Structure 1
């Protein structure tokens, strides 16, 4: 029979001929209509805007926490500067005592009874100027009140957007446009809050640099020099 040998060989190596299968309509991928593509694009835009507002909420929360830590840092630095001024005051007292001992003729026998020990007039000790704690507290509270008011605007815009997403009196296109506008209002309000947080951070850093960091750096150098001088003079006095 013509063609039988060829068919037998195909069967021997495991190749079996089948009739062509009919296409199952349930598994066919229908092409999206223009309306479907527009609907999907609108959904993607809405989701992207929702994600953006969520990220801005995170930025606002992190910024507020950063401002809180910056203020606490400023208070710690002001305490450190007060302590540094206490050290300076103590150094001046020690310096005065050393000067009196250097002029005393009986220091070699470790007594202080002669008139020369009291001849030198006592120098007035420089009193420290307290670096007041709570610097910028009033301004910080004012900024906090303003931030709360702007956050209320953010929440109002969010409620408006949520209501528009479920508005039954709008068709799909009108609802999308209304929600998109509301989401833009949310982001604008959020950006106002972020801008204020950045402004407050800059002001606090400038305040710390001017009122604390720069003076503190100079006071550290002064105290270091005073301590070295006191150590040197004390050793010289003991070796007399």
Structure 2
């Protein structure tokens, strides 16, 4: 395999089923743009990179196909589905409609202890940003946002946002990392927690809208 064709994929262990671990890693590779639209990926080739058999990789790719993230190519493998600028705009609009009011309603100094429990997760986003580990960055970022939204008590809302984020493409992450500005984006999560602890709903709404806008800008950097 040519070096330029090799993906930066982790070896997988035994904590979850291999199928789940592979699907999780592939979602992260899709979101960061590590796996590119239009490229056909072979299950045996990916399996060799993961250090597992082809079966859990095929099963994981079929799961991603059900989610609309990839499509099967007969006798060849799976192709990453492409998102248009309109798709990205619409995903952004839905996130804004859901996340901005939901998170701003959480602002309450009486809930400071709950927000502080999320601070280590927010700091976990900064560490991979510093070392330009894009897959770890996306994983920590997703975990932070879903755990924050979970404080609303609406499990269905959390699942909707999880699906929206899984459909995203952060093609510009590598450019941000190369410019040394990915850490600035990561630190926005810490500022958000400070605003939530202070009970300033207006500041939280502003920070959330600005953060989602920054993410849309990252999406746009093909």
Q: Quick check: TM above 0.5? A: no
Which has a greater percent of helix? 1
Task: Please tell me the TM-score bracket, short chain as reference.
Answer: under 0.3
Between Structure 1 and Structure 2, the one with more strand by share is 2
Higher RCO (CA 8 Å, separation ≥ 6 residues)? 1
TM-score by length of structure 1 reads 0.22
TM-score (norm 2): 0.23
